[in-house]
Homo-oligomer: A and B are copies of this chain.
Amino acid sequence: MKLYEQVAERLGEAISVGTLRAGDRLPSVRQLSASERVSVSTVLQAYVHLESLGFIETRPQSGHYVRRRQRPLPAEPQVSQPAASASPVSVSALVSRVYRAAGDPRVVPLGAAFPSPELLPARRLNRELALLAREAGEMAIEYDMPPGCLVTRQQVARRSLDWGCPLAPEDFVITCGASEAVHLSLSAVARPGDIVAIESPAYYGTLQVIESQGLRALEIPSHPRHGMELDALEAALTKRKVAAVLVVPSFSNPLGSCMPEENRQRLVRMLAGRGIPLIEDDIYGDLHFGPQRPRPAKAHDTEGLVLLCGSFSKTLAPGYRVGWVAPGRFREKVELLKFAQTVGMPTLPQLAIAAFLRSGGYDKHLRALRRQLASQVQRMVEAVGEHFPEGTCVTRPEGGSLVWVELPRKVDALVLHARALDAGISIAPGPIFSAQKRYGNFIRLSCGFPWSPRLEGALATLGSLARSLA
C-alpha cells in the first residue's frame, strides 16, 4: 500500500468504528500532517482518495467532513419464485471457479461467507490449544471415535440452554463443521434419487452436497425476511414425495432471512404429521443483531425428526472445524456414517474449543462480534445504495454477515463475477445458489470484514461494472 493509502485506511477505520461520524469535521491537513508524520501533499492525496470513494466531502472554505449518504437505501427483493419441479443438481464446476478465486489474499474478499479472522479470538484459542497439546500426552494422538469428545459435547449442550432448546451431551455428534453435519444428516435420511425441499436461493455448499449424494432439489419460494414460504412448501408436499426438508431458519445463506417463531412451530408440526425429517442448519443462529437469539425449530421437535446442525466456524475458529449435529432419532445412523467416512475428528481442536467455552468470555465475545457485524452489514447496504445502478434491491438481514443483491435484469451476474475478479474483487454470483440456475442477475456480498476505504473502493468499482452491464 502506498503511504497516502495507509493514511486513508486509518481515517476510514476511525469512521468505520464510529470515532468519526457522518457530519463530523476531519482534522485539518496541517494537523494530520503533523500527527501522522507525513507530508502535507500525502494528506491531501489521502483526502482526495477518500473523497473519490465517497467517504468524505469537501466544503469550500471550511474543510473536510465525513459524508452523509445521499441516496435512500435500496428496496428489498421480492419473494423468490423458483419453478415447482425437482431438479438434479450440478453447480459444482461453477462453485469451483468461484471459491478458488476467493482464496487469493490479494483479492477483496466479498465472495466467501466467513468473518474476518481479526474479529475472532485467535490468540486465546491457540493458547488453549497449545496448553492442551503439552498436557494431553498420548490422548491427543489417539483416535477420537464418534460421537466425539465428551467435554466438547457438554459445552455445546450447555449452550443449547441459551438457544432455548435444551439438549444433553449424548444428543450430539461432533462433526467437521456444520457442512459435514448437513452432509451426514442428508445421508442418514435420504437415498439417491430422493427429493429434498430447500429454500430458494440456497447455500451453494448445500447444493453441492445434494449433488454429491445424487439427490434432487425442490426449491421452495422464500421470503427475504421470513425465509421459506410454508404455504408453498405444504402445497409441494401434497404433490410430491419429499424425503427431507432442509432449512436455515436463522439468517439463511444467502438471503439472511429469519423465520418467525410461529412459522418454525408450524414447519415442525407439518413435517411431523407426515413423518418427514427436518434438517435445520443453525450455523448463523448466534449472530442475531436483535436482543433475542432465535430459538431453533428443534425446540418444537417432539418426534426426534429434527436434525439440528451447527458449528463454531462463524463465531470462533473456522480452521478448527468443530461442528455438531443433534440428529434426534437418526443418531445411531449419523454416528455410523461419521465413523465409516472419517473414523472421527482430530482431538485437540475439540478440546481447545471446550476449554475456551468453559473458561467463560464467549458471550462477551459474541456481543462484540454481533455489534461489529451489524455495523458492517449496515455499511454494505448503504454502499450498495450509493454505488449500484438504479433499480438494485438489497436484503436487510437481522443477523449473519451476508447481503443478497438483486441487480437490474440485464446484468449477468456471471459476467459481473468475471469482471470483478479481473479487478481484484471476489463476489458470489447468484446462479450458484440455485439448482435451477436462477438468480442470473443476483449476487451475494459478504460483510465479514471491517468497513474500510478498500472495501468502499471495491463497492464503487463493482457498482460501475454493474452499471456498464445494465
Contact = CB atoms under 8 A, between A and B. Distances in A.
A208 to B, nearest CB: 3
A319 B340 contact: no
Interface string A401-420: 00000000000000000000
A336 B191 CA distance: 21
A347 interface: yes
A19 to B, nearest CB: 24
Given A208-B340, A342-B176, A343-B177, A136 B141 contact: no
Contacts of A118: 138
A286 interface: no
A346 B343 contact: no
B122 A137 contact: yes
Contacts of A341: 176, 179-180, 183, 209, 212
B141 A348 contact: no
Contacts of A129: 129-130, 133, 140, 348
Contact of A140 (B131, B319, B335): B319
Interface residues of A, number: 67
Interface string A99-136: 10001000000001010011010110111011101101
A179 B141 contact: no
A214 interface: yes
Given A317-B141, A319-B142, A340-B209, A127 B133 contact: yes
Interface in A320-353: 320-321, 332, 335-337, 339-349
B99 A339 contact: yes
Contacts of A120: 138, 141
B340 A183 contact: yes
A138 to B, nearest CB: 4
Contacts of A339: 95, 99, 205, 208
Contacts of A137: 122-123, 126
Contacts of A347: 319
Contact of A346 (B180, B191, B320): B320
A271 interface: no
Contacts of A139: 117, 319
21 contacts: A96-B332, A99-B145, A99-B339, A103-B145, A114-B142, A114-B143, A117-B142, A122-B138, A129-B129, A129-B130, A176-B176, A176-B342, A205-B339, A211-B340, A212-B336, A313-B343, A319-B344, A319-B346, A321-B342, A321-B344, A346-B346
The 5 closest A-B pairs by CB, nearest first: A208-B340, A141-B317, A117-B138, A192-B192, A130-B133
